[in-house]
Structure 1
C-alpha cells in the first residue's frame, strides 16, 4: 500500500489516491474538518493554497516509521520520545523553526500517514 500511495502521489493522481483511501472501506482520516473527499481536499490545498501535500506525503513515506499497535506510522517523529534523528530526517519538509518548535513541544504535528499491517490506509493528516 505504501508503494502504491507513493506512486499515485508522484503522478499527482488524485483519483488513484481517493481509490486507495477507500480500498478497504471508507475510513481514511485526512482532515479534522467536515471534508469527505480526500482527492478534492488535497487538490484544493495544493492548487488554491500552494500546500505541498503530495510532495510531503511522498517524503514522509520514504522515512523511517514507528509502530503503534497494529499501525505502521510515518514519520517516526510522530512517536513518543522522538529523537533528534527523527526530527532531523524532516529537514526541508517544514521550516527549521517549525520543526524546532515541534521538537521543543515534544510532539510532531506535521503530515503523518498510517497503514495497517494488512494494507488498510487509515490516516494521512496534519495537526492534532
Structure 2
C-alpha cells in the first residue's frame, strides 16, 4: 500500500489516491475539517489560489521516513510517537524550517502530516494537526 500511495502521489493521480483510500472499506481519515473526498480536498489544498501547499510531495516525503508500529498500524513519521527522540525530529529536517522543528521538539509534539496503514494493508490516515 505504501508503494502504491507514493506512486499515485508522485503522479499527482488524485483518482488513484481516492481509490486507495477506499480500497478496503471506510475511507482514510485525512482532515479534521468537513467530510469530503480526500482527493478533492488534497487537490484543493495543492491548487489553493493564495496559499497552495505541496501535499503530494509531503505525502511522499513522510512515507520515505522511518516508521513505527502501534497497535495494528504502521505509522509515519517516528516523531509522532510517544517518547520521540532528537533523531526522530532530525529526520524531518527537509520537511520543516529549523525554528519550527525546534518548537516541536521543545513541546514534545509533532503536528505535521502523519500517515497510518494497517498491518493488513488498509490505508487508515493521512492527517495533520492535533
TM-score (norm 2): 0.95
* Matches of 2:71 and 2:27, distance apart in 1: 17
Q: Secondary structure at the match of 2:69?
A: strand
| 1:14 lines up with 2:14 in the alignment | yes
Q: Secondary structure at the match of 1:114?
A: strand
The alignment of Structure 1 onto Structure 2 pairs a total of residues equal to: 128
- CA offsets 1:1-58 (integer angstroms, 9 cap, x no match): 0000000000000010000000011231100011321001000101113111110110
* Matches of 1:54 and 1:102, distance apart in 2: 22
* Matches of 1:71 and 1:57, distance apart in 2: 17
**Residues 10-19 or 44-53, more deviating:** 44-53
Query: Is the contact made by 1:66 and 1:78 (CA closer than 8 Å) also made in structure 2?
Result: no
In the alignment, what sits opposite 1:45? 45
TM-score (norm 1): 0.97
Pairwise CA RMSD? 0.8
Q: Secondary structure at the match of 2:47?
A: helix
- 1:121 alignment partner, one of 117, 120, 123: 123
* Contiguous gaps of at least 5 residues in structure 2: none
Give the 4+ runs in structure 1 shifted more than 4 A: none
Q: Secondary structure at the match of 2:3?
A: helix
